[in-house]
Every structure is written in C-alpha cells, then in structure tokens.
Structure 1
C-alpha cells in the first residue's frame, strides 16, 4: 500500500489559528502511527470484559501517545482527554479531546474507513476541530466562526427538507441488547418515511463529517463518548448543521446519545430517534 500524504491542505485564512496548527500536527502524528500499523498489521485484543466486541490495539495506544506528545510540547499545561490513557478534566480551561483511532473494528478488518479526531475546547467551548482518515488523506477542519472545510473546500450541509429526500446514517454501540433493539426499531421507522437508505460505516467522527458535507441528512447513535464527537460536532455546526442528544437536549461533553442533522430535518428525525430512545 502506498503511504498517503499526511499533510493537511492549505488552511483557509479563517481557519489559520495557533490551535488549529497544533491540532493538525497532532492529528498527523497520530495518523502516521495508524498508517504504519495498518500496513504491517496490529494485534487486536478485547478492551474489557464487558464489551466483547470493543477492540483495542497498540496502534490506538501509541497513536494517542503521539498526539499527546505534540500537544504537550506545543501547549504545556493544557489538559488532554483521550479514549485510551489521557484523562484530562472537561472542566479544564484549556482542553484537548482526542480519539486516536475512531473505527477500530474497521481498522482490525482492514476496512480503510477510520479516523483520528482532535478538538480544542476553551472553557468548555469548542474552538477548533480536525478529523482525518489517514489512508484516504481526507482532512476535515473547522474553527469556531471560521467555517468547515473538506480537503480545502468549504463544507455545507444538504438542503433536504423532507426525510424522503435524504440518506440516513446510524451507528451501533457495542451493546447487543436493548440499545441495538432500539436502533433497529428506529431504522424500521425511518424506512416508513421513504428515506433513500440507511448507511452504517462504523466511524462516528467520519459520519458527522459526512452530514456536514451534505452526504447524509441525518445521523444518529444511542451512545457515543465525548472523543467520538468533540471535533465532528464543531465541523457539523460550522457547516450549518444541528446536533443534540437523541432526546433533543443540549449535547454535553460527555457520553451521550447523539442526533446530528442538516437542521431542516432535525425535528422529523427527533420524533423517531426520541421515540425509541433507550432508558
């Protein structure tokens, strides 16, 4: 496999901030680790006893270490919250929220659809976000108030105003009991609205970017961690989209259900996602 170009495209002036440059450098460092492991293979193992299908590898851990090293060098004293080892507080004034490998199961099965996600929050407010699929050299960037960009091109959510005009994305948490049944029930209800189809690609950070890029009108999942959506949320909102919990509440920077849309479809989607929301 040819090594991809891990350099982000030239920044639009509205996105050229010191924090964005750190975020890109950090994401590129993590991406280099992931691509190396993807080429030569990584030994997968269960993450814990409770989530049988939740895999992890040295690639995840070393990617997070590489990301943290860049951030700590460029912004000493800033907190880092990550999926594997970094446990910074969401109450920190300066907080970096990172997912070193979103879509680990895809990675394990050599499906080239996974991402590194890096977001910077100041006093609880997202200021910049980066999501990159390193084997596709797909870079999604956003700065608060500066717009969202995919490989240098400005992103905009779809103009769809009805569910029957739209493609819907979804995700499944590792739970294969009540939460999966709720997701399947919601999918069944969406199909009753004559949607164009359902897609489940297995990397929430990229799913949110695909809503931002106008590919889906809606994406939902009944459980995501903060690092899954910290960057994608800002990218979506800067592209004109809307994101709440699956019940329509303000989305916390914590594990939550997620409903993302182009805004126009949010109410219609919420009536379905909220109806089947697990307790």
Structure 2
C-alpha cells in the first residue's frame, strides 16, 4: 500500500501544514493559556493543543479523505485508543511538552508520523520556538533543518548522557519504580537530563546530543515520529523489557548505539528488583508493627 501512495506528496503536504499550524505555538509561547487537566494534575492541555490538532487533522482529511488518524486530543475526548491498522494513519501530537509550553519553556513541538501497513514511513518533529525541524522518511535518513544527522556511537554507559522523564514520579502508583530507575542511572551514567518532551528527546538521541532515553507511560503520538527519526539516524528503540518496541504500547528504551541495549535492560531489571524488595520489606515492617500494636492492646486489656 505504501507503494500505491504518493509519499512524496504526503511528506510535502504535511510539512507545509506543520509549519503553518506551528505559528500558533510560536505566537502563544509567551502569553497566557487556559489550562485544563486530563489524566491528572501533571497531564495538561491548553486551547492551543486543541487548535493545532484541529488544523492538522482538518487539513489532512481534506487532502487525504481515506486516511485514518490517531491524535492525542481526539483520543482524549473518547478515552479510547483506536487500533493501528494497515490503512494509512497519521499519528499526531499537536503540542508535545505542553507543560513546557504552559511555562514558556522553549522545548515544545509538533510531532506527526505517517504509518502505512503499520510501518512508519514519515516522521516530523518541529520546535517552532527555536526553529528545529527534524524529519525522516523510511530508508532515506534523518535530518535537522535539512542537514543529515547521526546518532551517537558511544558504547559505554559510564560515558553516556542519559535522558529520563522524572515527572511521572508524581504518579503515586509508579513513584517508587520511577525513582528507583532514576537512582540506578544516576549511579552509573555520565550525566542525567530531563527535557519534558518525549518527541524532542528522541530527536536529540537521533542527532547525538544525548546517548540514551528511557521512559514508560507514554502514548503512540509521543513517540511515533521520533522513533522513525532515531532509526533513520542509525539509533535503536526497543521495549524497556528488551523485547521488540510496540508503538501502540510504548515503553521506551532508545539509544544511539545498540551495543548499550543489554546493559541498559539489565540495569532497569536490577533497579525494579531492588524496588520490589524495598516494597516487600516495607510491607513486612508495617505488618510487624501492626502485630506489635495488637499484642500491646491485648496485654493492656
């Protein structure tokens, strides 16, 4: 089906549409925003997220009426993630890094990918605030503002700059796991960075500005474009478990050099086991304390 599509036209059209809709982000970055929340207080959305997605989808529907769409704000309305089929499907994040956008922190972007036969064909990540346009076509390489980019070849984790998304530690149910993994990376990596935009962070791995990126708890629109850009830049994206990466259930372990994969998977597993042991010890301590209280009350009676 990909061969039946004019992918050159798809790419040229969506590039123009992306640049046009990004004017909204550029013009609004310093202004006030009407803020709402979705999954929690940490999951923000503004009127501009909705406006950008509406422009992108309406423009693409008009040009490609048979194509399908998976857009962040559209999905949030129904709270139902559609299946990725063989049909040409645009996967869209109108503003990735919305919290950054709300605070006028300049690392925010539009992320758009086109999948055909469930295979990523086009990836675009555009930060209009600092004018970074990352692009990729399958089999054609990756580019930043039209110049080829290549991922890092560093194969020693001790010499690696690692990006990890720390803000998910705000979610109580996964806080221990997130903090345990951060501690593991801090103890061994050359340095740690948190950017606040998954799409841009993936692109920074692609251009060799960082060596490793890890985070779970993402959605397809966060990673689709960036995944293709990394792969076309020579990097690798796998599942946190070490298995094949699933774009519809993305648990991201991205790296410039695939030789880092075994050590990274082992480090995360070890961190999770350590977290689990702490949780068990904590529960046993609580049970012991409760038993002591019960014994004390029984003796008092």
For the superposition of Structure 1 and Structure 2, which TM-score range results when normalised by the shorter chain? 0.7 to 0.9
Q: Which residue of structure 1 lines up, in the alignment, with residue 241 of structure 2?
A: 247
5 Å matches for 1:258-269? 258-262=252-256, 263-269=258-264
Alignment of 1:162-177 (within 5 A): 162-172=156-166, 173=168, 175-177=170-172
Per the TM alignment, residue 238 of structure 1 is displaced from its structure 2 partner at its CA by: 0.4
- Preserved CA contact (<8 Å) 1:218 1:266: no
Partner SS, residue 264 of structure 1:
helix
The residue aligned with 1:83 is: 72
* Residues 23/276 of structure 1: CA separation in 2 closer, same or farther (3 Å cut): farther
- Give the match's secondary structure for 1:53: coil
For 1:207 and 1:79, how far apart are their aligned partners in 2?
A: 26
Partner of 2:293: none
**How far is 1:92 from its partner?**
4.5
Query: Is 1:56 matched with 2:45?
Result: yes
For structure 2, the residue ranges without an aligned partner over 5 or more in a row are 1-6, 76-80, 277-301
The corresponding residue for 2:136 is 142
- In the aligned structure 1, how far is the partner of 2:42 from the partner of 2:9? 38
**Structure-2 residue corresponding to 1:231:** 225
The aligned counterpart of 2:193 is 199
Contact (CA 8 Å) 1:117, 1:132: kept in 2 or not?
yes
**C-alpha distance in structure 1 between counterparts of 2:128 and 2:268, whole Å:** 31
* 1:158 maps onto 2:149 in alignment: no
SS of the equivalent of 1:40 reads coil
Q: Is the 8 A contact 2:96 2:198 kept in 1?
A: yes
209, 212, 221: which one pairs with 1:218?
Answer: 212
Choose which of 43, 55, 58 in structure 2 pairs with 1:66.
Answer: 55
1:22, 1:28 → 2: CA distance?
10
Equivalent position of 2:179 in the other structure = 184
| Root mean square deviation, CA, Å | 1.9
Q: Secondary structure at the match of 1:17?
A: helix
Q: Which moved more, 1:164-173 or 1:53-62?
A: 164-173
Is 1:23 equivalent to 2:14 in the alignment?
Answer: yes
Structure 1 residue 55: Cα displacement: 0.9
User: 2:279 maps to which residue?
Assistant: none
SS in structure 1 of the partner of residue 74 of structure 2:
coil
Counterpart Cα distance in 1 of 2:43 and 2:38: 6
Does 1:95 pair with 2:89?
yes
| Alignment map for 1:107-122 (pairs within 5 Å) | 107-122=101-116
Deviation by residue 1:20-57 (Cα, 9 ceiling, x = unmatched) = 11231232233122223224322112224xx1211111
Alignment equivalent of 2:268, drawn from 256, 270, 273: 273
Partner-residue secondary structure (3-state), 1:111:
coil
Which runs of no fewer than 5 residues in structure 1 stay unpaired? 1-15
TM-score, normalised by the number of residues in structure 1: 0.88
* Residues 186-226 of structure 1: per-residue CA shift (max 9 Å, x gap): 22212332x22100010000000000010111000021100
CA distance in 1, matches of 2:59, 2:25: 16
How far, CA to CA, are the matches of 1:273 and 1:19 in structure 2? 39
